[in-house]
Structure 1
Amino acid sequence: MKQGQIRKALSGFYYLYDDGEMVRSKGRGVFRVRGVTPLVGDFVDYEKDGENDAVIVNVHERKNELVRPPIANVDQALLVFSVKEPNFSPKLLDRFLAVIESYGVEPVIILTKTDLLDENDAAHIRRYMDYYRGIGYTVLKTNMGDGAISEELGPIIEARTTVLTGQSGVGKSTLLNTLMPELELKTDEISDSLGRGRHTTRHVELIEFAGGLVADTPGFSSLDFDHIEKEELAGCFAEFAELSENCKFRGCLHLKEPKCAVKAAVESGEAEQFRYDHYVQFLQEIIDRKPRYPS
């Protein structure tokens, strides 16, 4: 029995990496009956099927799996956000951060198109980024053609599997082209009428870079919290997770409970109001969602 890792899924085929070779494969028919869907990033057992093809017979247990993008065994996520075209959205970034944290994946924030900022806008963005750095996130900035980002990202990517994701039109493909010019990934201009880009990546693929693996993934503009329970959300906000340990009541939702350490930190300025406001909005989404019943 041979073992490999799925590096690309395209047109019904899975492309396995095994000891320097790429093997085209299909999943076993029984996978569909069992509800098993192999994902890019999966480690699998496979058998040869003819000279050039193979059949996946077993998918190893996953460390984690993301739904959007569909990928497994991820170590970290590069959250790519532009500061202009489309404009930077702290709420959308916090949504990405909360969902990524819920999967046990380490986020890294990358700001693109920073050369488009005037002095006032730059100071506004800097305030946010200083806070994110202060609560433990790595924050990098770049613009089109900035080769220095490759040196900054090299040590971060080395020996890890990294998802590259973010809102459509923020420059993910441009960033990958900067890191690996040989890819020549196609990029589209921002639509004036829609205010967002048309993402041109059609599949998920793990690409070798700086001793690690990077996935370019289809862009999307929103995330839901279907898999997060209301008691779990605070743990997906880095600073609130630590503060929650000092709340008077176990399972505190940080809304109206007395002696809440999170609310006290917001009132004192130790934690930012905008983060708490986003937490409350996300929490309400979770509370309001329709109950899920087993099928």
Structure 2
Amino acid sequence: MPEGLIVKALSGYYYVLPDEGGVTIQCRARGIFKNRGESPLVGDRVLYDLTENGEGMVQELYPRSTELIRPPIANVKQAILVFSLAEPALNLQLLDKFLVHTEYAGLTNVICMTKLDLLDDSDAKIREEGRKAAKAIELYKQIGYQVITTSSRQDVGIVEVRDALANTISVFSGQSGVGKSTMINRIVPGLKLETNEISMKLGRGKHTTRHVELIHLENGGVVADTPGFSQLDFLNMEPEELGSCFIEFTKYAPQCKFRGCLHQNEPKCAVIQATEKGEIAQSRHEHYLQFLVEMKDRKRRY
């Protein structure tokens, strides 16, 4: 039975690239997956059969090393979290929420800040946005993340992003309208993913990517362009697991007085003490507390 990689999923079809190369095979999935409550994902390694009409049938999924729900993709190693410095404005709470989900999934994270050219202006408001952006970039570098600032219009940072993608499987993810597809178009010569202008009225972009698809690079990397989205939930995470997804907390958490400390209002909480001393950014702890409330509200609803 031939083996392959699902490189695209669209309208109930799974497009499998055979291990031996060649063209992708348009496949359906066996009904048994639905009965099990399973669904093949882009990035899955599969066994498939060829059918009489020249299409295929996915018969079996290999075990996954990682899995994301939004975007739905399997076996990626690295997340490129793309956020714009302007249009739409940099949203650090949303960035932290993305980081929680990708840390929880066990991915390596690279933060990519786009539209640097839009901060090159003499307007006082834009200069202030530039100062805020510079502080945010320094903050996430101090936490331990690789941060790349880019401008697709000016070709700034594109080489650095391409280098970060080499020889690994990465997913591009982030809010709509931040320039994910534009960046991938610059990284992959000849690729023409659909792009669109930001909606000034809504402060966000239109969804130009409507499905998840793997794109192979010349440097041995594989990247996934995914639909942008602005909302994430915590359906698969317990409150006790949230702290480990804020990587700077892990240095202090073992020093908390109580085992299973939620770093909320417990006495002698080392994370709270570190925040008060400025060793953990106030914004990060505030976002952590906001997410904790969301998780507890979700548990009460369900």
Residue aligning to 1:142 = 150
Residue identity matched to 2:44 = D
Q: Distance in 2 between matches of 1:124 and 1:191?
A: 23
Q: Distance in 1 between matches of 2:265 and 2:203?
A: 38
Mapping for residues 1-295 of structure 1, pairs under 5 Å:
1-18=1-18, 19-21=20-22, 22-50=24-52, 52-117=54-119, 118-209=126-217, 210-291=219-300
Q: Distance in 1 between matches of 2:132 and 2:200?
A: 24
Residue identity matched to 2:139 = Y
Please list every run of 5 or more consecutive structure 2 residues that lacks an aligned counterpart in the other structure. Answer: 120-125
| Runs of 4+ residues over 4 Å off in structure 1 | none
Indicate the RMSD between aligned Cα atoms, in angstroms. 1.6
Q: Distance in 2 between matches of 1:281 and 1:73?
A: 30
Residue identity matched to 2:12 = G
CA-CA distance at 1:100 after TM superposition = 1.1
CA-CA distance at 1:187 after TM superposition = 1.0
CA contact (8 A) 1:167 1:221 kept: yes
CA offsets 1:71-114 (integer angstroms, 9 cap, x no match): 11111111100011100011111111111111111211000111
Identity over aligned pairs, percent: 49
Please list every run of 5 or more consecutive structure 1 residues that lacks an aligned counterpart in the other structure. Answer: none
CA-CA distance at 1:119 after TM superposition = 3.8
Q: Distance in 2 between matches of 1:167 and 1:150?
A: 19
CA-CA distance at 1:272 after TM superposition = 0.7
Q: Distance in 2 between matches of 1:68 and 1:212?
A: 21
Q: Distance in 2 between matches of 1:286 and 1:238?
A: 19
Q: Distance in 1 between matches of 2:25 and 2:224?
A: 18
CA-CA distance at 1:148 after TM superposition = 4.9
CA offsets 1:110-159 (integer angstroms, 9 cap, x no match): 00111111443222211111111111101001112343534212332122
Q: Distance in 2 between matches of 1:228 and 1:166?
A: 20
Q: Distance in 2 between matches of 1:270 and 1:31?
A: 48
CA-CA distance at 1:239 after TM superposition = 0.3
CA offsets 1:32-58 (integer angstroms, 9 cap, x no match): 222221100001011121373211110
Q: Distance in 2 between matches of 1:36 and 1:28?
A: 10
CA offsets 1:246-292 (integer angstroms, 9 cap, x no match): 21211111122122110111111111111111111111111122347
Q: Could you tell me the TM-score, scaled by structure 1's length?
A: 0.95
CA-CA distance at 1:12 after TM superposition = 2.0
Residues 234 and 59 (structure 1), Cα distance of their counterparts in 2 relative to 1, 3 Å cut: same
CA contact (8 A) 2:117 2:153 kept: no
CA contact (8 A) 1:145 1:178 kept: no
Task: Give the total of aligned pairs.
Answer: 293
CA contact (8 A) 1:147 1:179 kept: no
